[in-house]
Amino acid sequence: MALSRRTATTLVLTGILGLTACSGGTDAGSSGSSGGFAASEVKLGYFPNVTHALPIVADKEGLYAKHLGSTTLKVSTFNAGPAAMEALKSGAIDATYVGPGPSTNAFINSGGEAIRIVAGAATGGAALVVDPSIASIADLKGTKVATPQLGNTQDVALRYYLKEKGLKTDLQGGGDVSITPQENSQILDSFAQKLIAGAWVPEPYATRLVQAGGKVLVDEHSLWPNGKFPVTVLAVRPDFLKDHPETVKALLEAQVEAEDFIANDPAKSQADVGAVIKTVSGKALDPAVLADAWKNLEFTNDPVSSALTEGAKHAYDVGILKTEPKLDGLVDLTILNQVLKAAGKDLVS
């Protein structure tokens, strides 16, 4: 079922172990300055999540079609970041919205060759939700807790937080707390059946777990300076960025316009996101749950580079990354700032 007139949608099943690289920093590099040409086709990935509202709205409201012109857009949807990064590295897609953990992992493990982050998309919107019987982090010892996928952003966040609290984990599911990777929809079922004590998940799944009787034990906002941490960024293959800067510019023009659309019409934007979730998952999301989840997010073009760097260090500390992260060159905001300047908006440093 098409998500828009110009979009072919493919549900990409997870299960791919994409423990790929990590890197952060800004580079006002050469992309978008001159040369290149519009691609005949661009293959874009995003997730059927509230945290991916910017690309969903840009797609559903025809903003990609508007700015891409004769370039055909093809969309693939993913459950979690490592699978999206595998698709990007293989050339199955040209760009994808993804969490910062898998994107920085991919950069580092490829020696800086796999991706460039060209914009942010959302901050906030992630939490550790647990069974009401869990009164503190210490109570999680001996229990099983889920994340969307091994090595994804929430997986790193959980492992690092537990380590900070003196609880050991390993990548095989052992340790003081057994971390089990599951698709978001499966996490809901496992929680309802009390097969897991909780999960560290993005929105709307954190809100859905609360609706299912859970309680928020850790709101990730509380762990970052000013509550700012990226939950979604836009990553592009470097060769595509070099060869087709005009196409990347069109994607970003649509994103910036989608940001305005969301601010001006949150009800329609939420309906767009709900429609995609229903199409991909086969289940409609309660509009009240979606609205509650929406409140926990900020849709922004800023990738919060400082938090990208810190998150990469966390991935190294918990063993997701095997080498100490070097992040120079990961973030290239050249084209984004061209688009923001043309739109009369503040630039992102």
CB atoms within 10 A of CB 283: 9
With bands split at pLDDT 50, 70 and 90, how would you rate the model's confidence at 77? Answer: very high
Query: Measured on CA atoms in the order 229, 135, 139, 165, is the torsion positive or negative?
Result: positive
Q: What is the mean pLDDT of residues 65-76?
A: 97
- How far apart CA 172 and CA 149 sit, in angstroms, is 12
Contact assessment for residue 205 and residue 277, using Cβ atoms and an 8 Å cutoff: no
Q: CA Rg, the chain, in Å?
A: 19
Report whether pLDDT(76) > 50: yes
pLDDT (tens digit, 9 = 90+) per residue, 19-63? 233 333 333 334 444 456 799 999 999 999 899 999 999 999 999
Report whether pLDDT(18) > 90: no
With bands split at pLDDT 50, 70 and 90, how would you rate the model's confidence at 185? Answer: confident
pLDDT at 80: 82
Residue 181 pairs with which residues in a beta bridge? 147
State what percent of residues in the chain have pLDDT above 70. Answer: 90
- How far apart CA 309 and CA 326 sit, in angstroms, is 9
- How far apart CA 191 and CA 342 sit, in angstroms, is 47
pLDDT at 336: 98
Average pLDDT value over all residues in the chain: 89
pTM of the entire structure? Answer: 0.83
pLDDT at 82: 87
pLDDT at 5: 37
Top pLDDT among 18 and 299 is at 299
pLDDT (tens digit, 9 = 90+) per residue, 105-140? 899 989 999 999 999 999 999 999 999 999 999 999
Residue 4 pairs with which residues in a beta bridge? 7
Alpha helices in 92-244 (DSSP H): 100-109, 153-164, 184-192, 205-211, 238-243
Report whether pLDDT(289) > 60: yes
pLDDT at 12: 36
Structure tokens at 7: 């979009």
**Nearest 10 degrees: CA dihedral of 152, 154, 160, 161?**
-170
Top pLDDT among 259 and 21 is at 259
Give me the domains of the chain, ranges plus CATH numbers: 9-125+227-342 (3.40.190.10), 126-226 (3.40.190.10)
Half-sphere exposure for 296 (CA within 13 Å, toward CB): 25
Report the run of H or E that residue 312 belongs to, with start and end.
Answer: helix 305-317
Q: Are β-strands 144-147 and 198-202 bridged in parallel, bridged antiparallel, or unpaired?
A: parallel
pLDDT (tens digit, 9 = 90+) per residue, 304-325? 999 999 999 999 999 998 888 9
- How far apart CA 124 and CA 290 sit, in angstroms, is 15
Q: What's at 333, amino acid-wise?
A: L
pLDDT at 36: 64
